[in-house]
Amino acid sequence: MKRMMLLLVVLLVLVLAGCSFGTVIDLSSKEDSGKTNILQNPSFENSDTETSVPLNWSILTDIDFPVETCPISFHSGVSSLRIDQPESEVSLVSDAFDIDNTSVYYSRCFVRTDKISNKPLTLHLIAFNQKGDIVNKYSREIIPSEEWAAIDFNSGFFKDSAETARLVVTVPEKNDNSFWIDDAEIFKVHTFAFSQE
């Protein structure tokens, strides 16, 4: 009987702890109202004229591929970034930005494709320590469609050593699809009153 009571108490503590932490992390896009987007060139509208690579972003891939600013299809502003028929996985990596490891961040970008894809597009937030080692990773996948859709998530409970982060959008190898990416955003939406160990 004592063992059963102890088990019930442990379960109750876990449920209550999950509820309290869940409400802290379960933030929505409403939380970004009035907040400043941390990313530079979030709509990819400014790019290098020779390479078409957006300023404040890097592109990682194994092959040459067409990437361009697209003034025809965009979520907001005047253009988006278009990646045509990638024959290899393509990662679009933001410049590093400082983070507060006691805070929660809301990350989001908008994506679409020219036809339904069976491979997911992934949004990552990767945190680094002072030496440049990865200390935290957060990600979410979406199967893009022909309509603009948000891919988003919250991240928090960073390790104490986390100092900087990068947002990464990974486009799958899909040589019969074109992909559009727009409005990459990161907002600091909450700060904890204590630090994580």
Return the pLDDT at 160. Answer: 95
pLDDT value at 21 more than 60: no
Average pLDDT over residues 2-21: 42
Average pLDDT over residues 3-32: 44
Return the pLDDT at 18. Answer: 41
Return the pLDDT at 37. Answer: 93
Parallel/antiparallel/unpaired status of strands 80-84 and 178-191: antiparallel
- Listed by start position, the domains of the chain span 2-191
Mean pLDDT, the chain, integer: 82
For 42-81, b/e burial (b = at least 16 CB within 10 A) is bbbbebeeeeeebeebebebeeebebebbeeebbeeebbb
Give per-residue pLDDT as tens, 70-96: 888 889 888 889 988 888 888 999 999
Instruction: Please give the C-alpha separations between residue 129 and each of 44, 45, 105, 133, in angstroms, as whole numbers.
Output: 27, 30, 17, 6
What span, in angstroms and rounded, lies between the C-alpha atoms of 69 and 43?
10
pLDDT band per the 50, 70, 90 thresholds, residue 192: confident
Return the pLDDT at 121. Answer: 94
Structure token pair of residue 184: 């990459």
Give per-residue pLDDT as tens, 144-157: 999 999 999 999 99
Query: Which of 2.60.120.260, 1.20.210.10, 3.40.50.1460, 1.10.1740.10 would CATH assign to domain 2-191?
Result: 2.60.120.260
Nearest-5° angle of CA 155, CA 116, CA 81? 60
